[in-house]
Chains A and B, each alone.
Chain A
């Protein structure tokens, strides 16, 4: 499976899409949409929010396509848009309020579902890296993904979040600790509490 940053399209197809040719736009959509949605899901999480961010990203992509200068693969350019939209969503007051509500609900019931899973079924569930990622807070998950998988530097992540490089470093260090705790429950019992 190709990463979004590696995806490129033929120059003539790109030229047609820039002129507004719907067939060419459709072919580009088919080439980039799966990797774009995959990245957005990693950063934002699943559900309707990811779909909204995806739609917003693709609409911005097509609106700005005529200004794309083709200095880098189109996937790299689209990745910038997707990451920018995802982080904008994560920083939005609406999202923060939702996370706060979720956290209070979890506190009311004691431990999270993931924590119970890690205690009861350590072999099957603890080996699931997807679950381990889901256990992180949205911000920590985005920092881990951008640094470890997308290859962003701490400076770039800090800038993207409107913070400093130290913010990125501390988020990453705590996320690493949390991930290790997930795979080794003995390291920390409350592995799934939010960061």
Chain B
């Protein structure tokens, strides 16, 4: 838009020209397109809200699992090698109750079967549980190695049974953590 102006223009003249500029402009989108985008944005907002809720729920489940694991497992201050049953350690004098032992062993076998049926990697990988799972798997592997060497040497039946009991508890703990992960992954 051009205006015929004098050689000199004062501010009021310029302001007057500004006020005469067109105040309307064809909108970039028509009503139907606007409505479509509006619905799309609402759907996205709803979906984001649901994802946030699912994430919070998953974190809560994992935290509950982690707390349960922490309460269930013995303290980890000393390395595992130092906690081997010795004459002075409590494990050496731990009374082995046959019924509890059988129950633990059965649970361990069932847990191992269930673990084997799980995918190698969890559906949702979270650093917190990942570290716990790795730790448990390492300790189970260490218990397996120690048991194998003890059986090869022969003798120390009580210590071997105590170690086997410890291993079963570790396997059950691992199953609990993996179960918590599965619940978290299945959340909508």
| Chain A residues in the interface with B (C-beta under 8 A) | 1-4, 22, 25-26, 29-30, 33-39, 41-42, 50-51, 54-55, 58-59, 62, 124, 127-130, 132-133, 144-145, 148-149, 176, 179-180, 183-184
Instruction: Contact check, A3 vs B1: say whether CB atoms are below 8 A apart.
Output: no
A129-B24 contact, Cβ under 8 Å, with A29-B31, A180-B11, A183-B5: no
The 9 closest A-B pairs by CB, nearest first: A34-B24, A33-B27, A38-B25, A51-B28, A183-B9, A38-B24, A129-B17, A26-B31, A37-B27
Q: How many residues of B contact A (CB 8 A)?
A: 30
User: Please, which residue of chain B has its CB at the minimum distance from the CB of A124?
Assistant: B2
Residues of chain A contacted by B103 (CB below 8 angstroms): none
- Distance A183 CA – B64 CA, assembled complex (angstroms): 72
Instruction: Contact check, A148 vs B23: say whether CB atoms are below 8 A apart.
Output: no
Instruction: Contact check, A128 vs B1: say whether CB atoms are below 8 A apart.
Output: yes
Instruction: Contact check, B23 vs A39: say whether CB atoms are below 8 A apart.
Output: yes
A129: contacting residue among B21, B23, B29, CB under 8 A: B21
Q: Which of B1-58 contact A (CB under 8 A)?
A: 1-5, 7-11, 14-15, 17-19, 21-29, 31, 34-35, 37-38, 41
Residues of chain A contacted by B3 (CB below 8 angstroms): 127, 129
Residues of chain A contacted by B11 (CB below 8 angstroms): 176, 179-180
Instruction: Contact check, A30 vs B31: say whether CB atoms are below 8 A apart.
Output: yes
A148: contacting residue among B4, B18, B27, B41, CB under 8 A: B18
Instruction: Contact check, A1 vs B2: say whether CB atoms are below 8 A apart.
Output: no
Instruction: Contact check, B14 vs A184: say whether CB atoms are below 8 A apart.
Output: no
Nearest-neighbour CB distance to chain B for A103, whole angstroms, equals: 24
Between A and B, how many residue pairs show CB distances below 8 Å?
Answer: 87
Instruction: Contact check, B9 vs A145: say whether CB atoms are below 8 A apart.
Output: no
- Distance A10 CA – B8 CA, assembled complex (angstroms): 46
Instruction: Contact check, B41 vs A59: say whether CB atoms are below 8 A apart.
Output: yes
Instruction: Contact check, B34 vs A29: say whether CB atoms are below 8 A apart.
Output: yes
User: Please, which residue of chain A has its CB at the minimum distance from the CB of B8?
Assistant: A184
Residues of chain B contacted by A130 (CB below 8 angstroms): 1, 21
Nearest-neighbour CB distance to chain B for A132, whole angstroms, equals: 8
Encode B55-80 as 1/0 by CB contact (under 8 A) with A: 00000000000000000000000000
- Distance A176 CA – B37 CA, assembled complex (angstroms): 40
Given A54-B28, A124-B2, output 10 extra A-B contacts at Cβ < 8 Å: A2-B24, A22-B35, A42-B21, A62-B38, A127-B2, A129-B3, A129-B17, A144-B18, A149-B18, A183-B5
**A-B residue pairs in contact (CB < 8 Å), sample of 17:** A2-B23, A30-B31, A34-B27, A37-B26, A37-B27, A38-B22, A38-B23, A41-B25, A50-B28, A59-B37, A59-B41, A62-B38, A128-B1, A129-B3, A149-B21, A176-B11, A180-B9
Instruction: Contact check, A55 vs B14: say whether CB atoms are below 8 A apart.
Output: no
Nearest-neighbour CB distance to chain A for B159, whole angstroms, equals: 65
Instruction: Contact check, A127 vs B14: say whether CB atoms are below 8 A apart.
Output: no
User: Please, which residue of chain A has its CB at the minimum distance from the CB of B20?
Assistant: A129
Instruction: Contact check, B27 vs A54: say whether CB atoms are below 8 A apart.
Output: yes
Instruction: Contact check, B15 vs A148: say whether CB atoms are below 8 A apart.
Output: yes
- Distance A184 CA – B34 CA, assembled complex (angstroms): 43
Nearest-neighbour CB distance to chain B for A61, whole angstroms, equals: 11
- Distance A109 CA – B180 CA, assembled complex (angstroms): 62
B25: contacting residue among A37, A62, A129, CB under 8 A: A37
- Distance A133 CA – B14 CA, assembled complex (angstroms): 10
